[in-house]
Structure 1
Amino acid sequence: MRWHCQNFRVRDWRAYFGIGLLGFIIGLEEPTQFDYRVFLLFVITSSLYLAFSFSINNCFDIKNDIIKEHKMNKNPVASGLIGFKESVFVSVLTASIGTLIACLCLNFLSLCIYAVLLLLSLSYSTPPLRLKSVPVADLVSHGLFFGSLLFLYGASVAGNLNQYVVALAFSLFIHSVALNLRNHLDDFNEDMLSKTKTTACWLGRHNSVKILNKLLVIHWAVLSIITLCVNPLFGILVNSVAPLIFFGLKKYTSLVRATDVCVSLVYTSTIGYLVVL
C-alpha cells in the first residue's frame, strides 16, 4: 500500500489541485454559496483524477525514468517496488472510482469534463496514442488536462461558468503549455538519450527556449488584460505590484520560483476579487 501511495505522487500534483481549487472558488460566485458536501465531492474526484494521471504515467514511463535518477525515486514501478500489471490495475481502479462518484453525484457538465480529463490523461501517457511523445500534441494535451479543463471542472462542480471563468481558463491553458515546455527543457538531455520525441527535442533547445519566452510574454499579456477587464484600478494595482514582488523574490530564490509565485499571486488575487467583491 505504501508504494502505491508513493506511485500516486501526491506532492507533485499539489499545484494542479490548486488550479482546480481556484476554479471551484470562482465557480461559487459568492462565498455564501459554499456547500461543504459539494466541496468534498470536488476534493475526492479531483484527487482520484490526479492520482490516476500520475500513477498511469509512471506505468508507461519506466524506460525513460530508469535513466533519470531523480525520477527513479518517484517511480516505484521503474525501481521494481511495484509490478507493472498491479500498478495499471490500481490506476484503472482509481479512475473508475472517480468516474462512479462523478456519475452518481455530479451534474452532467461536470461529468462530461471529468470524462474528457481522464481520456486525455490516459491518451497522454499510454500507447497507442501516447501524446507525450508526439510533438505539439504533448503541449496542447497538457495545457488542457492539467490546465484549462481542470480549472473548468472545478468551476462546473461549484455551479457557475461565466465569461471570466472562460477567460481565465484560456490563460491557464497558455500557462500550462509553458510549464510543460519548461519541463521538457529541464529533461532535454535525458530525453535525447532515450529518444523521447517531445516538442523540445523536435524543435531543438535553442528554438524551444525562444518559444517558451514568447509563451511567457503572451501569458502575462493575456492575464494582464483579464485583470484590467475585471476592474481597471485593480488591474493597474496588480500589474504594478507583481513586478516588484518578482524582483524582490529574485534576490532570494530562482528565477523560475519567483515567476511561479508571482503568477500564483495574480491568479489568486484576481479570483478572490471576483468572488468577494
Structure 2
Amino acid sequence: MSENILSLALRISRIRFWIYTGGTYVVGFALGMGSWEAFLRPEYMIYLFYFFIPANIFIYGVNDYFDQETDKNNPKKDAQEYRLEKKDEKGLFSLLAVVTGISLILLATQADLTAQLIFASFLFLSFFYSAPPLRFKEIPGIDFASNMLYIMPGIFGYYLASGFLPPWFLILAGFFHIAAMHLFSAIPDIGYDTKAGLRTTAVTLGERPSLILCLLFWTGLSMIVIPASGIHPAAFLVLIYPAVPLLLLLKRDHDIEKVYWYLPAINTTLGGLIFIAATLHTFG
C-alpha cells in the first residue's frame, strides 16, 4: 500500500516540474542570503523539501482532481503527464490530506506575519487555480496572472534569507516569465480546451496573438534581467525566451507542443546559472 501511495505521489507531482517551485525557492533564497552559510539553516532545509515535493503534490493533486472532465480528451495526459483514474482517488485524498496538514503546520509555525502572508498566498493561488468556485484557470487574463503561484516560493525564499521582500523589478521579471510560460503552455491545448468548454486566454486570443503576447512578456523579462545584471554577458542568454515565440511566429510550419517540452530544461539551466552567480557573490 505504501509503495502504491509513493508511486502515486511521484506521478501526481510531475517530477519534471518540481524545479518550478523548488528551484524558484532555492534561487530566491540564494539572491536574498548574505552568506552561503545560510544554506545550513534548518528552516532552509525544511522548506527546500516542502517546495520540491509536498508543494507539487498539492498543486497538481488539486489540479488533477478538478480537471478530470477537461483532461479526458487531452493526449498529453497519457504521454508527458499522468491521467488520474477513479481507482486513484482514495490515494489522492490521502496524499492531499497529508500535504495540506503539512502546509497548515508550516503556515501556523511561521512567527513572522509577512512570511505567513507570502506562504498563504502560495497556498491560496495553488488551490484556487484549479478548484471552484474561483477556478482561475477558466478566467482569461486571470489564468496566467494566477500563475504567480510559481513565483511565491522565490519571494518566500528571498524573505526567509534576508528578512526583506525582493526588489519590485525582480518580482515583475518573475511575473513576466510565469505569465509567458503559462500562456505558451496553453497554446497546444487550445483545441482540447475548446472542446471541453474551457475558456483560457489562449482559447480567447488564438495561437498567433497568444504567441505575440508571449513575445511581449519575455521581451519585458529580458529588458529587466540584462540591465539588472550590470549588462553581464551571461545575462543575454535570457534572450532565448523571446526568441522562441518569435521564431514560431516567423515559421508557419512548426510543432509548438514539441518546443514547449524543451522549456523545463532551459528554465533549469538558466535558473542554475542564477543560483551559481548568487552563491559565488556571497564569497566576494
- Whether TM-score is above 0.5 comes out as yes
Mapped contact 1:49–1:94 kept (Cα < 8 A) = yes
Q: Which residue of 1 aligns with 2:54?
A: 48
Question: 1:211: how far off?
Answer: 1.0
Tell whether the 8 Å contact from 2:32 to 2:166 is kept in structure 1 after alignment: no
- The aligned residue for residue 253 of structure 2 is none
Relative to 1, partners in 2 of residues 1:209 and 1:177: Cα closer, same or farther, differing over 3 Å? same
1:88, distance to aligned residue in structure 2 (A): 3.9
- Work out which of the residue numbers 18, 28, 32 in structure 1 matches 2:33: 28
Which of residues 6, 9, 31 is equivalent to 2:11? 6
Task: Provide the C-alpha distance between the structure 1 equivalents of 2:237 and 2:120, rounded to a whole number of angstroms.
Answer: 39
Partner of 2:181: 179
**Equivalent runs, 1:37-116 vs 2, <5 Å:** 37-46=42-51, 47-72=53-78, 74-77=81-84, 79-83=85-89, 87-88=92-93, 90-104=95-109, 107-116=112-121
1:82 aligned counterpart, secondary structure: helix
Q: 1:266 to 1:169 in 2, by over 3 A?
A: farther
C-alpha separation in 2, matches of 1:241 and 1:10 = 25
**1:261, distance to aligned residue in structure 2 (A):** 6.2
Distance change (3 Å), C-alpha of 1:96 and 1:262: closer
Alignment of 1:214-253 (within 5 A): 214-228=216-230, 235-239=231-235
Asked if the contact 1:23–1:153 (Cα under 8 Å) also holds between the matched residues in 2, the reply is yes
Residue 155 of structure 1 corresponds to 158
> Which amino acid letter does the alignment assign opposite residue 29 of structure 2?
F
SS of 2:18's equivalent in the other structure is helix
Question: How far apart are 1:176 and its partner, in Å?
Answer: 0.6
Q: What's the TM-score, normalizing by structure 2?
A: 0.80
SS in 2 for 1:196: coil
Instruction: Report the Cα distance in structure 1 between the residues aligned to 2:132 and 2:75, rounded to whole angstroms.
Output: 24
Aligned in 2, Cα 1:259/1:6: closer, same or farther, shift over 3 Å?
Answer: closer
Number of aligned pairs? Answer: 261
The unaligned stretches of length 5 or more in structure 2 are: 248-257
Q: Structure 1 pair 265/48, CA: closer, same or farther in 2 (3 Å)?
A: closer
Q: Give, in whole Å, the separation in 1 of the partners of 2:64 and 2:20.
A: 18
> Counterpart in 1 of 2:255?
none
TM-superposed deviation, 1:201: 0.4
* TM-score computed with the length of structure 1 as normaliser: 0.81
One-letter amino acid of the counterpart of residue 10, structure 1: I
2:57 alignment partner, SS class: helix
Aligned partner of 2:68: which letter? Answer: I
Question: What percent of counterpart residues are identical?
Answer: 18
Q: Compare 13-22 and 100-109 and name the one that shifted more.
A: 100-109
**CA positional deviation for 1:265:** 5.7
- Pair 1:58–1:103, CA change in 2 (3 A): same
Offset at residue 113 of structure 1 (A): 0.9
The letter of the residue matching 1:80 is K
Secondary structure class of the residue paired with 2:23 = helix
Deviation of 1:105 (Å): 5.2
- Counterpart CA distance in 1 for 2:27 and 2:121 is 19
1:146 aligns with 2:150: yes
Q: CA deviation at 1:194?
A: 1.5
Q: Deviations over 1:143-195 (max 9, x none)?
A: x2112x2211111222342654x432221111011100110112222112212
2:136–2:143 contact (8 Å) kept in structure 1? yes
Q: Deviations over 1:60-106 (max 9, x none)?
A: 111122111221463352x33312x6524532431221220332256
Give me the CA root mean square deviation: 3.0
What does residue 231 of structure 1 align with? none
Q: CA deviation at 1:208?
A: 0.9
The separation in 1 between residues aligned to 2:259 and 2:131, in whole angstroms, is 33
Instruction: Structure 1: state its 5+ residue gaps.
Output: 229-234
Q: Report whether the alignment pairs 1:137 with 2:139.
A: no
Tell me by how many angstroms 1:17 deviates: 1.3
